[in-house]
Amino acid sequence: MLRWLKRYKWWLIISGIILLMIGLIIGGIHLEEQRQAEFKQEMIKQVREHVSTIEDSIRSYDKYNRINKITIDYDSVKHNPMGGINVRAYINDDKTLSCENNLNLTSEDGADKYNVGGGMSNKLDDFFK
pLDDT of residue 112: 67
CATH top class, domain 50-128: alpha beta
What is the average pLDDT score of the chain? 86
Structure confidence at residue 28 as a pLDDT band (50, 70, 90): very high
pLDDT of residue 34: 96
Structure confidence by residue, pLDDT tens digits, 30-84 = 999 999 999 999 999 989 998 888 888 888 888 888 889 999 999 999 998 888 8
pLDDT of residue 53: 87
Residue 71 vs residues 11, 48, 68, 119: alpha-carbon distances, Å = 60, 12, 10, 16
